[in-house]
Chain A
């Protein structure tokens, strides 16, 4: 297309108002760029349109430009105070979050401490209950023994120390003939070594027949140093010997510590 043809086609006017399809607009742009005559023509069209549009304007207020500047310079003008206020919000938000998390941990910790305390108290309680039970058991034992000492059913038999073995030793037997129950108080006997144990015997004297009653050990102990034996064979006398741990079938007479007869 020649310069004149382009001018008379009416495409330049449409080019300036942006009404051409993109492809045609690009062709015109190329043609105008190369042709000073077309360039002048386009400038004239554009100027008349700018004048027309400007005449329709009710007048641009002078404040508009500063508002545009504020919008394109956000950092230097409007944002500064904004940033500060946003920071305060953020800071208080984070502070609240930190406090809340801290509070939760504190509560969890406190809760755990309290649970530990409860557990400890429960353990202590059960310990105390056990001690109480033990004390009650012991008290019952002591009461039983006291009842025995006071009772008319029990005969007190003193077993003096064997002069050849332990002249200082002694033992006491409380014996209920009717029920064949005997209590032996070992307070007067020297302490047995760990490998040895005292053994109690009921004796028939004519002929001399020893029958084992049992060992003065934990199994028969009812109170510290007091041992209970039941189903005691009807004796003429009681004897206590020191035997190897576990006891013996017949008494070792060389180790006879005490011996006492039952009054007829």
Chain B
């Protein structure tokens, strides 16, 4: 998917309609990321709202020359979600969700009913090696830096890069065919 630079430019200029289109394009993915971090629908919805308000308010600070728009809003979404998990109320309400990852969430019947696409993805994600699930979880869903992820997985940085590339290649084959 090509980056919608014109919409981004219009949003930076205060165009609500452009912002609405970008929301339509990215909100589902960001909600998946946020939900993967907080594991609670209500909290995730709050975080998603907060994240998009931040995207709108800080849109002037994004420039396409610096990196991908998706990377920029992905960071905002992850940081907003992580902030939510740090609140005391969240810590008290959260029970046994600390060990879930995106595959566990994907496996829940709730999601499968809603998203026809997810069924297909689930089938292949199930085929992803446990090492791939772990690496994608850390780098994409949790926002670890490459150095932190290598340390967490106790593998050299070079191995991390190669393994991550192979895992995403597998994902691309599943998703894009």
Contact = CB atoms under 8 A, between A and B. Distances in A.
B145 A51 contact: no
29 contacts: A9-B165, A15-B71, A18-B143, A19-B149, A21-B147, A26-B66, A43-B2, A45-B168, A45-B172, A47-B175, A48-B171, A49-B70, A50-B1, A50-B70, A53-B30, A53-B36, A53-B140, A55-B111, A55-B121, A56-B32, A58-B44, A58-B110, A59-B115, A60-B28, A60-B48, A67-B49, A68-B49, A68-B52, A68-B53
Interface of A: 8-21, 25-26, 29, 33, 42-61, 64-65, 67-69, 71-73
Contacts of A11: 161
Given A68-B52, A72-B56, A19 B145 contact: yes
B67 A53 contact: no
Interface in B115-154: 115, 117-118, 121-122, 125, 136, 139-141, 143-147, 149
B71 A51 contact: no
Contacts of A14: 139, 146, 161, 164
Contacts of A55: 32, 106, 111, 115, 117-118, 121-122
Size category of the B interface is: 35 or more
Nearest to A41: B172
B52 A46 contact: no
Interface string B35-73: 110000100110011001100110000000111101100
Nearest to B56: A72
B176 A57 contact: no
Contacts of B176: 44, 47-48, 51
B175 A48 contact: yes
Contacts of B56: 68, 72
Nearest to A52: B171
B71 A16 contact: yes
A64 B71 contact: no
B74 A51 contact: no
A13 B110 contact: no
A73 to B, nearest CB: 8
The 5 closest A-B pairs by CB, nearest first: A10-B161, A56-B32, A57-B32, A10-B165, A53-B32
A57 B45 contact: no
Interface centre among A33, A43, A49, A53 (most CB of B within 10 A): A53
A13 B2 contact: no
Contact of B68 (A19, A46, A52): A46
Nearest to B71: A18
B12 to A, nearest CB: 14
Interface centre among A14, A18, A21, A69 (most CB of B within 10 A): A18
A63 B38 CA distance: 20
A18 B143 CA distance: 7
A48 B111 contact: no
B121 A9 contact: no
Given A26-B66, A44-B172, A54-B32, 16 more contacts: A10-B160, A12-B165, A16-B68, A18-B71, A18-B75, A21-B145, A33-B65, A43-B3, A47-B1, A48-B176, A53-B32, A54-B117, A56-B32, A58-B114, A59-B31, A60-B48
B74 A18 contact: yes
A17 B74 contact: yes
